Amino acid sequence: MHEADEEVRRLDHDRQLQQASCTEAQIALATAEERLRSLESRHQQLDRDHRQRARELNQSRQSLSDGRTKLSDSQQTMLRASSIVAQAYLDKEAAQRRVAELEVQRDQKRQERARLTQQAQTVRAEWRTHQEAVHQRDLEATNLRHQRDTLVQRLQEDYQLDLTELYAKRFTAENAETAVKNPDEVNAEIEDLRRKLSRLGSVNLDSLQELNELETRAVSLKTQFDDLTEAKKSLEEIIGKINLDSRKMFLDTFAAVRGHFQELFRMLFGGGMADIVLEDENDVLETGIEVIARPPGKELRSISLMSGGEKTLTAVALLLAIFRSKPSPFCLLDEVDAALDEANIGRFTAVLREFLDHSQFIIVTHSKKTMACADVLYGITMQESGISKQVTIRFEDWVDEPQNDETEQAKGVA
């Protein structure tokens, strides 16, 4: 029994050893199986990555081939452009020589015009002097005729004397060799003239006062005329100065807006070229302005030939260029991004951020991407029929929701 107990204890010890060894083997097996699964998953992941890299490699090779083709095309375009530039430079030199010749001719023509203008002014002055003299003589003759007709009418009405008949009789008497009158007839004529003088009546004694009043009124009217002439001259000088200052201010503002417009257009389109030009540079206060734009990859064209989104971006670039030249604290934009896609909206909002240092923008929009760039959202909702409610969201006060325990546990397991 003692030996059997010893054998039992030995066998039990061996069994425990074998059991421990089996447990270790099971643990090693489970570890190996887990590692095998991990390696298989890693192998599958590496295989997928390999296939992805192969596709990317093929795409890169295709892109490289396309890039080489584009580079070759660009080099050819650059060569053609260089040739065009060289030809343009030659044309410019020829044009400059032609301009120099035309400027010499212009100076000669200006001198000739100045000489002819001086002669014309001299002739006009002489003509006006003669015209004034003739006019003065016509006035004097008209005045004398009027006085004569008035005297003839008064003599006819007051004294029943016809000067025409008397003049004819006097002319006949002077030319007659014998013209002797009877004394009785002479006395009768004297008496008749006395009776006619008695019928003349009283003389208008207020005529001198009326003459003085008319002279005073004439002096007053002449003074008013001189004042009006001086005021007209002064107003013409002020208008000329205002036009000169307005032209200078307009040209300065136009140059500033033009530079800002070119810069903002490239930022909004990611390249390209745009410009604004005056239709008539000789009359900048009345001329129109033409907007020319060339988006990347397109030909130079007028804004009327562009798509809706391109027109919108071009108009926004011009608006912001004017806004940059003379900024204000607030700016309201209503549905300006309605015709834009997400890429253009991203460039649009990026440009607006550059103005936030000195201006605030209020944008009415339905674009989620534009809303995501705002600091505060104001919306109107109708949870109940016929009842509107205002909703305000300030992103800087928004706190991210904490992650639940399952998510944290999943992250720990991963």
Tens digit of each residue's pLDDT (9 = 90 or more) over 210-230: 778 888 888 888 899 888 989
CA distance 331 to 356: 11
pLDDT of 326? 82
pLDDT of 300? 64
Instruction: Please give the average per-residue pLDDT across 348-364, as a whole number.
Output: 85
pLDDT tier at 354 (50, 70, 90 boundaries)? confident
Q: What is the CA radius of gyration of the chain?
A: 54
Cβ atoms 361, 333 nearer than 8 A: yes
Q: What H or E segment, with its residue span, contains residue 360?
A: strand 360-364
Q: Is the pLDDT of residue 92 over 50?
A: yes
pLDDT tier at 302 (50, 70, 90 boundaries)? low
Cβ atoms 317, 261 nearer than 8 A: yes
Structural tokens at position 406: 């399952």
pLDDT tier at 181 (50, 70, 90 boundaries)? low
Residues 6 or more apart from 165 whose CB is under 8 A from it? none
Most confident of 94-103, 182-191, 369-378: 94-103
Query: End-to-end alpha-carbon separation of the chain, Å?
Result: 58
CA distance 316 to 309: 10
CA distance 264 to 347: 10
pLDDT tier at 205 (50, 70, 90 boundaries)? low
Q: Is the pLDDT of residue 203 over 80?
A: no
Higher pLDDT, 408 or 310: 310
Nearest to 253 by CA among 272, 276, 235: 276
Instruction: Please give the average per-residue pLDDT across 371-391, as a whole number.
Output: 83
CA distance 85 to 99: 20
Q: What string of DSSP letters covers 126-190?
A: HHHHHHHHHHHHHHHHHHHHHHHHHHHHHHHHHS---HHHHHHHHHHHHH-S-----HHHHHHHH
What is the value of pTM for the model shown?
Answer: 0.41
Q: Is the pLDDT of residue 145 over 80?
A: yes
Instruction: Please give the average per-residue pLDDT across 282-309, as a whole number.
Output: 77
Q: Is the pLDDT of residue 38 over 70?
A: yes
Q: Report the percent of the chain where pLDDT is more than 70.
A: 86
CA distance 389 to 393: 13
Distance of CA 378 to the CA centre of its chain: 32
pLDDT of 185? 78
Q: Is the pLDDT of residue 176 over 60?
A: no
CA distance 262 to 314: 10
Higher pLDDT, 297 or 35: 35
Phi first, then psi: give them for residue 391, nearest 5 degrees.
Answer: -120, 130
Cβ atoms 199, 158 nearer than 8 A: yes
Nearest to 164 by CA among 182, 149, 183: 149
Cβ atoms 332, 362 nearer than 8 A: yes
Q: Report the percent of the chain where pLDDT is more than 90.
A: 1
CA distance 214 to 205: 15
pLDDT of 171? 55
pLDDT of 357? 82
pLDDT of 411? 30
- Name the least confident of 164-173, 274-283, 305-314: 164-173
Instruction: Please give the average per-residue pLDDT across 347-374, as a whole number.
Output: 85
Residues 6 or more apart from 332 whose CB is under 8 A from it? 361, 362, 363, 364
Q: Is the pLDDT of residue 182 over 70?
A: no
pLDDT of 178? 43
Nearest to 276 by CA among 297, 264, 293: 293
pLDDT tier at 172 (50, 70, 90 boundaries)? low
